[in-house]
Copies of this chain bind each other. A is one copy, B any other.
Amino acid sequence: MAEGDEGKGGPALEMRPIGVVQSPYRDKAEIPKGPGAEHRAEGTLELRPELEPGLQDIEGFSHLFVLWVFDRAEGYELVARVPLDEEVPHGVFASRSPRRPNPIGLTVVELLSRDGPRLRVRGVDMLDGTPILDIKPYLSSVAPEALRRGWVEEAEARRRARATDLK
């Protein structure tokens, strides 16, 4: 452990991308965000060729977790306004803000097909060229009746109430 690492959660860890996302989005402004945003865009997860054996048997899974890097975000903000709720700021760990202490993104995609080290997927919300850190199979879901979505539900309710007022 290097000097000065105490109290900062330990030494730094080095990660190296396993591949890159090919996405139709070239600019952040193109990515659907905020209330009602749907991610149906198709893209490709292209692995480094030497890692292709790590994809063995992945075709059987309908959905995958993709861990990736917000490589065009700078620094972080512990409390911030986000597109899902522009009125009230929320903590970064209670939101999907890109400006995080460790800028890791997490997306669930639907696996459409595989061609060697390339996975064709639906549901990308990353920019073209985004570095991929890991891919994991999606194995189980939280039951809808057990799920509470905190401030996201409250922000939705406020928007519905306002929409009714405007009628």
Residues of A within 8 A of B (CB): 7-20, 47-48, 51, 53-63, 65, 67, 69, 78-79, 89-96, 100-102, 104, 106, 108, 131-144, 146-154
A151's nearest neighbour on chain B, judged by CB, is B57
- By a CB distance below 8 angstroms, the chain B residues around A144 are 141
Contact indicator B152/A55 (Cβ below 8 Å): no
Contact between chains at A57 and B94 (CB < 8 Å): yes
For the residues of A in contact with B, the DSSP-based class is mixed
Of all A-B residue pairs in the complex, the 8 with the closest CB atoms, nearest first, are: A60-B150, A9-B17, A56-B91, A141-B141, A62-B148, A58-B94, A54-B78, A93-B135
Please report the C-alpha to C-alpha distance between residue A151 and residue B137 in the assembled complex, in whole angstroms: 10
